[in-house]
Amino acid sequence: MRSILVVFCVWICFSVDASTPNADCSKIPEVENAEVSQSSRKDNYTDGDKLEYNCKPGYASPLKITYNCTDNKWTKLRGGNCSLKRCELPEDIPNGRYTIVSGSAFVFGTTIKYICNDDYQMMSRFDTRTCQEGGWDNQLPACEEISCVADSTEENVRVEGLPENDGLIRYGHRLTFSCSDYGWILQGPKEITCQSNGQWSGPFPKCVGATCPLNTAVGDLKMERFPDIEGPVKPRHKLIFSCNTEGLKLKGQREITCQSNGEWNSPFPKCEEVMCVAKLTVSMRSDRHPVPEVSVRPGHTITLSCVGRGVKLQGHSKITCLSDGQWGNPFPKCIGGKCGPPPKVNFADTTEITKKEYDSGEKVEYSCFNKYTLVQRHPYSKYLTCEHGEWRGNIKCLKPCSVTVEKMDERGIQLRWRGREKIFSPHRDRIIFSCKSGKSSTGIDLTQTCNDGEMTLPLCV
Ligand SMILES: *[C@@H]1O[C@H](CO)[C@@H](O)[C@H](O)[C@H]1NC(C)=O
Ligand SMILES: *[C@@H]1O[C@H](CO)[C@@H](O)[C@H](O)[C@H]1NC(C)=O
Ligand SMILES: *[C@@H]1O[C@H](CO)[C@@H](O)[C@H](O)[C@H]1NC(C)=O
């Protein structure tokens, strides 16, 4: 068995040796980032043959890499490694700088981008440069100070803010426009600003002749134009109105004028049914209407009366509405009247001992309970007034907020400056909380304000 193997090996080894005498030189060395040049490729290599390598695109070696076939082995004659080609240090530009956007400084394939300083803008089509075989591609970009160019405007447009002597219009510069003639209005923005991209914030406006809109659907309203001409209504033109149906009355202005801004000086009037209207005072009642207003058609009569202790009617109690919308007699009044003790108000007391009876015009002052806050803004005040038998006025006390220690513990908070302590603070008081040590806020503001007894408590976990 062993002898058979030996024989087999001898045969195989010899036959390989015999068929490829230069076995080692047939194996071409691999060189990183390089390829064997076309001219040194051969089928078989013998002693003394040379192999030349070319670096791949973007790579370079100081000497051409060459191998020599010596004693059936490739040995390096000269040349180093193929490393990425380098470009020169990129040039700086005035008012700008560059950064590397890909690759590393500054080898083949690296791309840099030029950025302009604040208030400067890129003027070149390309703002990047890439390191190529032959150096940096693209032209060196240029940055220029950001400025806007003013459009020309028509003569009737007044422009304010243009720099003198055609100076540069820089970022942030503002122009304002107006029309120089009466009856012309600006079409477009009144004001534009030079933006950071060198563009104006809006278009340059024009001045166009102002016209007032003419509403056509007027119904019972009769309208006459002055001057009486067709076409758009120009500034200073007028409209005169009347109602063309009996029993209707004009409500609003009889005459309106078109203004230089293209708007009417007052809205169009309306034709309304003629009615007698009156407001009822607190102690006055009508036989036909609920408070607080009566409105009746011409020819109708209403009866008025007064309510409240000691309140008397002054004038005629029955009055009739006339065809022109006026009352046949002066509208009556309710006078006199006494009030009883002032009413109880939530969270407030009167400042003085109260009486059993008050005359019309007498006031009673209230003050809120401790820590409650009196609202003094209309329609609230600190007084109630007796008016012809009724107490009038509004009093409001806003509630304080109270937060217990337990409640704060539950939410993981404490008072920023006082630690663990119950709070009882009036409306609008600002309370600053802090998280208990080791806890952090869930995002609810740690400063909170009391609002009529309510306050959002922060939460720390
Ligand atoms: C290369 O070597 C082989 C085997 O030794 C041989 O048959 C062939 O003719 C050789 N070719 C050249 C071009 O010398
Ligand atoms: C290349 O190899 C041949 C054969 O071994 C040898 O004679 C020659 O001197 C070598 N050339 C160089 C430059 O080493
Ligand atoms: C060439 O590359 C080889 C392997 O990567 C390294 O050992 C050698 O130092 C390099 N030589 C030079 C000159 O860079």
The pair phi, psi for residue 200, each rounded to 5°, is -80, 150
**Percentage of the chain with pLDDT > 90?**
53
**Of the candidates 307, 335, 303, 337, the residue with the CA atom closest to the CA atom of residue 320:** 303
Chain segment 143-157, per-residue pLDDT in tens:
999 899 888 888 889
Band of pLDDT at residue 216, cut at 50, 70 and 90? low
CATH of 339-398, one of 3.65.10.10, 1.10.10.10, 2.10.70.10, 3.30.9.90: 2.10.70.10
Residue 338 has pLDDT above 90, yes or no: no
d(CA 165, CA 150): 13
- Which atom number of ligand 3 is nearest to the Cα of residue 83? 14
d(CA 344, CA 369): 13
Q: Considering only CA atoms, which residue is closest to atom 1 of ligand 3?
A: 81
* pTM for this model (two decimals): 0.40
d(CA 379, CA 392): 11
On the 0-12 / 13-18 / 19+ scale of CB atoms within 10 A, 23 is: exposed
Ligand 3: which of 63, 65, 81 to mutate, most ligand atoms within 8 Å of CB? 81
- Which atom number of ligand 3 is nearest to the Cα of residue 80? 13
Specify the pLDDT at position 14: 42
Chain segment 141-193, per-residue pLDDT in tens:
999 998 998 888 888 899 999 888 878 898 889 999 999 888 888 999 999 99
Query: Residues 267, 349: contact at Cβ < 8 Å?
Result: no
Evaluate the omega torsion of the peptide bond into residue 227 and state whether it is cis, within 30 degrees of 0: yes
Chain segment 107-126, per-residue pLDDT in tens:
999 999 999 998 898 989 99
Chain segment 19-50, per-residue pLDDT in tens:
444 457 888 999 999 999 999 898 888 889 99
d(CA 124, CA 96): 12
167 lines ligand 3 (CB under 6 A): no
Cα-based distances in Å from 338 to 307, 317, 354, 385: 11, 21, 14, 11
CATH topology of 276-336 equal to that of 339-398? yes
Specify the pLDDT at position 229: 85
Domain ranges within the chain, ordered by starting residue: 2-84, 96-145, 147-209, 221-273, 276-336, 339-398, 401-449
Specify the pLDDT at position 97: 95
Distance from the CA of 48 to the center of ligand 3, in angstroms? 25
Ligand 1: which of 43, 45, 47, 72 to mutate, most ligand atoms within 8 Å of CB? 43
CATH number of 2-84: 2.10.70.10
Give the fold, CATH level 3, of 147-209. Answer: Complement Module; domain 1 (2.10.70)
70 lines ligand 2 (CB under 6 A): yes
- Which atom number of ligand 1 is nearest to the Cα of residue 21? 5
81 lines ligand 3 (CB under 6 A): yes
**Of the candidates 431, 370, 371, 434, the residue with the CA atom closest to the CA atom of residue 403:** 431
Evaluate the omega torsion of the peptide bond into residue 57 and state whether it is cis, within 30 degrees of 0: no
Give the fold, CATH level 3, of 221-273. Answer: Complement Module; domain 1 (2.10.70)
**Of the candidates 174, 87, 82, the residue with the CA atom closest to the CA atom of residue 133:** 87
**Of the candidates 5, 50, 7, 6, the residue with the CA atom closest to the CA atom of residue 25:** 50
Chain segment 274-324, per-residue pLDDT in tens:
889 888 887 788 888 887 888 898 999 999 998 877 788 899 999 999 988
Pocket of ligand 1, beta carbon within 6 A: 43-44
- Which atom number of ligand 2 is nearest to the Cα of residue 69? 2
Q: Considering only CA atoms, which residue is closest to atom 1 of ligand 2?
A: 48
Specify the pLDDT at position 3: 47
CATH of 96-145, one of 2.10.70.10, 1.25.40.10, 1.10.3720.10, 3.40.50.720: 2.10.70.10
62 lines ligand 3 (CB under 6 A): no
Specify the pLDDT at position 362: 92
22 lines ligand 2 (CB under 6 A): no
Class of domain 276-336: mainly beta
Which ligand lies nearest to the CA atom of residue 49 in the structure? 2
